A and B are shown apart, each in its own frame.
Chain A
């Protein structure tokens, strides 16, 4: 699936629900299904700054592509980072670094989070882009 197709799939999934409570149920489901994150990787340097709840993000490069894993102590936050890495993991660093991440605005995620959580989302996106930018050189 191309990056554009992956983003569109998320937009389509969100469009299925009328109510934000149902959209959150979907996000929580993503969080619950995220693969386990090793406890020893929950280090300070993997914490994303600017999130009210703690979010750890790890990245491995393989075959010229970036693979992300993540965890959070809050399940909705975990669902949101899961949504992001579900779209961007396994893609070339350059493609990730060059993307505008605008689909999160299309699904209306930012404005339906609390201001602190919306800042957290911005921090997650900035961190993913920075990691990708560093790998892309």
Chain B
């Protein structure tokens, strides 16, 4: 399947903005949705809407089956050992907060330390800061080098007997670099410390095996991998989920309830209180199907060529400061954040928008990383397999035109 063929499955990609073809390069913020995903969402609402896990009638059964099929597909998709290890949430943020509250409540106390990478998204910083405030714990920052790579030697020196957790993104949403999770997990485990991985930027681009990575927690969102918004996953090793207390109490997470005390449902249901996102969770099935269909495709090959082309164009332009650099582009996803000397990032994004090019600008929910590089924000272009070489070229031309206008 070529990128052109793939594009046809995404109705929004044929629209125009300001009378110009839309060039959508903010896939790291949210990917677009395929017809198959939109159909799953509308079918769920039009044909199969019933509350899951509760009633005996046909609609409830269909809704429950669609919901649980998604759990099976997600298990396969990230190679988890069991479906019991897949907790559905509203997104990466909710997944990380679940761990911060539940795991944090039980395993983190006053004086304990949580190692957090400097390049994390605010979603993987603030839940830990809140936990640290509640418990009197301490955040220890794992620094990044100038290139954006994590400093593993430094990480080794950060462990001590108070270290209780390491939090790191599989791929930074600013740098696009693939972090060596397997090595980090191995290092952390040698100190008896579990690892939480923010996989939000990884799942659309990398084949993830949580068993191979040997991480303890892996959080990601559906909407960054073509599924519907408001869907997310927390993978956690069974041994942790079984020890962790419920985070949110409510319907469907219980075994028996009485005024004397309540016993909880088995995992993963213990962590899925209340009515889940019945209509949207089933969209994981076509979204995962789509990602699988891209394996080894021309579109995937084309995306690699785009990555090379854009990386070379940006890194060879003296006006541009590209962040997240590497000698080996296999260690980077097609996500490029940069600054232009003497030009405000929002001015640049605004002029690109008027040329039909949608990019992100601002601090990208990673202010500590912006501070590390001494900027208030950057521009980010992030590509998906449905982006074409022509779009990549048009982006570089539009960028050049915008810089010339602003300089």
Q: Within the assembled complex, what's the spacing in Å between the Cα atoms of A112 and B17? A: 12
B69 sits at the interface (CB 8 A): no
B18 touches A20 (CB 8 A): yes
A75 touches B406 (CB 8 A): yes
A24 sits at the interface (CB 8 A): yes
Question: What residues of chain B lie closer than 8 Å to A76, measured between beta carbons?
Answer: 344, 346-347, 350-351, 406
A114 touches B350 (CB 8 A): yes
A52 sits at the interface (CB 8 A): yes
Total residues of chain A contacting the partner, CB 8 A: 18
B354 sits at the interface (CB 8 A): yes
B18 to chain A: closest residue by CB = A20
- Shortest C-beta distance, A3 to chain B (Å), equals 28
A24 touches B346 (CB 8 A): no
B344 touches A75 (CB 8 A): yes
B56 sits at the interface (CB 8 A): no
Q: Within the assembled complex, what's the spacing in Å between the Cα atoms of A117 and B344? A: 13
A74 to chain B: closest residue by CB = B344
A73 sits at the interface (CB 8 A): yes
Q: Within the assembled complex, what's the spacing in Å between the Cα atoms of A112 and B349? A: 13
A21-B354, A21-B355 given; A28·B406 CB < 8 A: yes
Contact check: which of A21, A53, A77, A117 meets B351 at CB < 8 Å? A21
A21 to chain B: closest residue by CB = B354
Q: Within the assembled complex, what's the spacing in Å between the Cα atoms of A18 and B295? A: 44
Question: What residues of chain B lie closer than 8 Å to A25, measured between beta carbons?
Answer: 405
Q: Within the assembled complex, what's the spacing in Å between the Cα atoms of A21 and B19? A: 12
Question: What residues of chain B lie closer than 8 Å to A24, measured between beta carbons?
Answer: 350-351, 354, 405
- State which residues 103-122 of A face B: CB under 8 Å: 112-114, 116-117
- State which residues 322-343 of B face A: CB under 8 Å: 343
B350 touches A75 (CB 8 A): no
A120 to chain B: closest residue by CB = B346
- Shortest C-beta distance, A118 to chain B (Å), equals 11
B405 touches A117 (CB 8 A): no
B354 touches A20 (CB 8 A): yes
Which of B343, B353, B362, B406 has the most C-beta atoms of chain A within 10 angstroms of its own C-beta?
B406
Q: Within the assembled complex, what's the spacing in Å between the Cα atoms of A52 and B350? A: 13
B351 to chain A: closest residue by CB = A24
Q: Within the assembled complex, what's the spacing in Å between the Cα atoms of A75 and B343? A: 8
Question: What residues of chain B lie closer than 8 Å to A28, measured between beta carbons?
Answer: 405-406
Question: What residues of chain A lie closer than 8 Å to B349, measured between beta carbons?
Answer: 114
Question: What residues of chain A lie closer than 8 Å to B354, measured between beta carbons?
Answer: 19-21, 24, 112
- Shortest C-beta distance, A107 to chain B (Å), equals 15
Question: What residues of chain B lie closer than 8 Å to A19, measured between beta carbons?
Answer: 18, 354
Q: Within the assembled complex, what's the spacing in Å between the Cα atoms of A24 and B351? A: 8
B342 to chain A: closest residue by CB = A75
Question: What residues of chain B lie closer than 8 Å to A114, measured between beta carbons?
Answer: 346, 349-350, 353
Q: Within the assembled complex, what's the spacing in Å between the Cα atoms of A77 and B351? A: 13
B19 to chain A: closest residue by CB = A19
A52 touches B346 (CB 8 A): yes
Identify the 5 closest CB pairs spanning chains A and B, nearest first. Answer: A74-B344, A21-B354, A76-B347, A20-B354, A74-B347
Enumerate 7 A-B pairs (CB-CB under 8 Å) in ascending A order.
A21-B355, A28-B406, A75-B343, A76-B344, A76-B347, A114-B353, A117-B350
Besides the known contacts A20-B18, A24-B351, 6 further A-B residue pairs in the complex with CB atoms under 8 A apart: A24-B354, A52-B346, A75-B344, A77-B344, A112-B354, A114-B350
